[in-house]
Amino acid sequence: MRRRIFGIENEYGVTCTLAGQRRLSPDEVARYLFRRVVSWGRSSNVFLENGARLYLDVGSHPEYATPECDSLLDVVVHDRAGERILDKLVESAEQRLMEEGIKGTIHLFKNNTDSAGNSYGCHENYLVGRLGEFQKTVDTLIPHMVSRQIYTGAGKLLTTPRGTQFSMSQRAEHIWEGVSSATTRSRPIINTRDEPHADAERYRRLHVIAGDSNMSEYATYVKIGITAAILQMIEDAVVFRDLTLENPIRAIREVAHDPTCRQRVRLANGRELSALDMQWEYLERAMRY
């Protein structure tokens, strides 16, 4: 593949418990976690020696944003480095709690939902060319984003009126639009906030916020790699079969709720395809390319 800049932002959940009961609020946990950061960087929003950014996001969520990476291996390595860095902050915070006579264990979660129904994100960033039709890029990518859950979803147990069921994606229930500038309330699959941090006349940032945080390095690798491969094909004017979904938001939930990966979703042209069918379509185009 051609050289491209990627980056991943992961928000983490935190809590502190003792004997199964909450010991400290998330705000208090965050303050203990970032005490070491503030003493070093004089802020809870810092750039690290490896080029990454570490900060407290809305809702007292520690967030680690990888540096700009130009290879798939690098972005996976830096994502894993973020986990290690936050693990060290947890160790330091627990030591401080012990010194202050506060009993409890701090738990750090690389997930996307909590027990109260809140969602926090794993955002992907891709540098793409400014030239070309952005809407065409979006139209080609959205069916991929909906169907790729079968190998990138982190999984969760979902409580419904019909009982508990397995969902392949933690994020699917919290997506409400295909494309928009929102990031919190009416979350889209693709966010249009355009911050290329490059020559803005030549480049733009593609900001994907519908994905799950992954513990598996392989899942992270294919999540970024396959999306980057599709972007390269779009830039090279490869013609894709029309996979435009009739209702992307309904489809992303239908795919998430079917662990067999055979649930068919309706396309705008009346066809019905499963997530596997759609991924095969992308694979066949890539093999020809």
Which residues lie closer than 8 Å to 22 by C-beta, 6 or more apart?
15, 16
Tell me if 117 sits within 8 A of 56, measured CB to CB.
Answer: no
* Residue 28 domain flag: no
Residue 73 forms part of a structural domain: no
Q: Has residue 229 been placed in a domain?
A: yes
- Indicate whether 262 belongs to any domain: yes
Give pLDDT, residue 59.
81
Residue 197's pLDDT is 86
In a domain, 86, yes or no: no
The sign of the torsion formed by the CA atoms of 172, 178, 180, 186 equals: negative
Any domain includes 91: no
pLDDT at position 182, please? Answer: 74
- Quote the pLDDT of residue 115: 85
From the candidates 57, 74, 194, 277, give the one annotated as an active-site residue. Answer: 57
List strand residue ranges (DSSP E) for the chain, in order. Answer: 6-11, 13-18, 21-24, 45-47, 53-57, 61-65, 105-109, 122-129, 156-160, 163-167, 177-180, 188-191, 203-208, 264-266, 272-274
Q: pLDDT at position 210, please?
A: 96
216-240 burial by CB neighbour count: b if 16+ within 10 A, else e? eeebbbbbbbbbbbbbbbbeeeeeb
Q: Identify residue 283 by its one-letter amino acid code.
A: L
This prediction's pTM: 0.94
State which residues form the domain around 244. Answer: 130-183+214-288
> pLDDT tens string for the chain (289 positions)?
899 999 999 999 999 999 889 999 999 999 999 999 999 999 999 999 999 999 998 889 999 999 999 999 999 999 999 999 999 999 999 999 999 999 999 999 999 999 888 999 999 999 999 888 899 999 999 999 999 999 999 999 998 888 999 999 999 999 999 998 876 678 999 999 888 888 888 999 999 999 999 999 999 999 999 999 999 999 999 999 999 999 999 999 999 999 999 999 999 999 999 999 999 999 999 999 9
Kindly state whether residue 103 falls inside one of the protein's structural domains. Answer: no
Give pLDDT, residue 218. Answer: 98
Query: Dihedral of CA 221/139/241/277: which sign?
Result: positive
Q: Catalytic residue at 57? A: yes
139 domain residue, yes or no:
yes
The helix/strand/coil state of 103 is coil
Structural domains counted in the chain: 1
